[in-house]
Structure 1
């Protein structure tokens, strides 16, 4: 395994500034990258060829995510918007406006119908991925939101914030179900387990916390 992962298969060059975010399409055929150069690039994952350069953001792109059906790509930018692109043609399908500050994180729901975004404005927004309508604005964090993630069963949404907490939200009603405390610094990343029973959070306090079950009590902290 060590030898297998030691080989660099491709070096993809084309961005003119730092790359902030990368994401594979669920069908494994493409790779997206978001950059300080204000563009999103879509690459052929086998050949390394650049298939599309998506232009439209007026500031750096901080987060990219493919829809689970691989047909669309979302990008979150410091221009305060989220854009949804056709992953084949590169056409911009929607520009989602509503955040009052920088967008840090974007994530599609597992059924591809909704999109979540986390922002410096301390909120999480849930959008209709087809119409672009804002379905929910989730308020409760006292500082900027760094990361958002849907549970694989689509029932919950997690958000990690500079306020040192993780919040679990009902993805339908927008109600806050849990506020998870335990980190001593900013929470930079959150991720659900594939069976939706566990949640991991990574923090600037140098730890990863893992929660279990409906109550999501912290069961282990990795220093």
Structure 2
């Protein structure tokens, strides 16, 4: 499988970048990290468009609404900020977490924003209300909540306690899938039937969300210290993940076979990976403060 680095975007601060997101069209990238700056980039040219600054500590996660007019950010200052993209202003600020906020995610119509924290809580915020307090707090996790996804009426939360909890909000039920290692990220399939679960170990796992069965495992990465995220490509054919030995790995999703292992520039650790929503590209961020854009072609 041929994978080519087609663009390197450098930050002068060289601080670790913790998160990168494509907008819904794939024309823009949003990234942020330890330097507390959120950067909007043109994904095709790599040109800087705008910077957003309000956080006083490192930024851990971002999420963008479907029409790309707003985005949410969170981090070490315990706050969740909601931004207006065009004006660059913070239009909402949510604050009742007691520790670093690790992850944020909108639901499909952007009416609800979920945040997960080192305080082991998931808080749900009503984006249509003027209230600054959460509408619900999910407190089942026994350790830091590292990752969240929302699929229709289900909230999926991964924790460093090794459990993936699926909250069926409509029916008031909780389903728990246990792993033997801390969970670092989840990437849910478009159908909501399965999820790619990344753990602090040498493998990632494809989980059937209905039965709790592990459908396939993907081994070969090194991951003992950092939160490394992984993803599926836009067609859900490949698994893409970073590794602490400075490589990006790709596997065939169905077969589990490793297809490619690509060293990053300077062998820097890849902290986040996200696939383009509609093309054969993906973007990665590194602990050296770089955004890398790749194109793949299975020959």
1:138 is aligned to 177
Decide which of 96, 101, 111 is 1:61's aligned counterpart. 101
Decide which of 76, 97, 101 is 2:143's aligned counterpart. 101
2:233 is aligned to 193
2:126 is aligned to 86
1:2–1:86 Cα change, 3 Å: closer
1:2–1:13 Cα change, 3 Å: closer
CA contact (8 A) 1:94 1:132 kept: no
- State the 1:76 CA deviation: 0.9
CA contact (8 A) 2:217 2:256 kept: no
2: distance between equivalents of 1:2 and 1:151?
A: 23
CA contact (8 A) 1:152 1:192 kept: no
CA contact (8 A) 2:207 2:214 kept: yes
CA contact (8 A) 2:201 2:222 kept: no
Gaps of 5+ in 1: none
Moved runs in structure 1, 4+ residues, more than 3 A?
1-5, 129-133
Cα offsets for 1:40-64 (capped at 9, x unmatched)? 0101111111110011111110111
CA contact (8 A) 2:216 2:254 kept: no
2:215 is aligned to 177
- How many aligned residue pairs are there? 218
1:205 is aligned to 245
The answer to whether structure 1 residue 6 and structure 2 residue 47 are counterparts is yes
CA contact (8 A) 2:119 2:144 kept: yes
1:35–1:185 Cα change, 3 Å: closer
Cα offsets for 1:176-222 (capped at 9, x unmatched)? 21222111334711111222222211222222222224233222222
The answer to whether structure 1 residue 151 and structure 2 residue 189 are counterparts is yes
The answer to whether structure 1 residue 125 and structure 2 residue 165 are counterparts is yes
TM-score, structure 2 length as denominator? 0.67
Cα offsets for 1:78-111 (capped at 9, x unmatched)? 01011121223355222111111011111122xx
Cα-Cα RMSD? 2.1
SS at match of 1:41: strand
Gaps of 5+ in 2: 1-41, 264-299
1:37–1:184 Cα change, 3 Å: closer
1:146–1:52 Cα change, 3 Å: same
1:178–1:63 Cα change, 3 Å: same
1:127–1:59 Cα change, 3 Å: same
2: distance between equivalents of 1:215 and 1:139?
A: 23
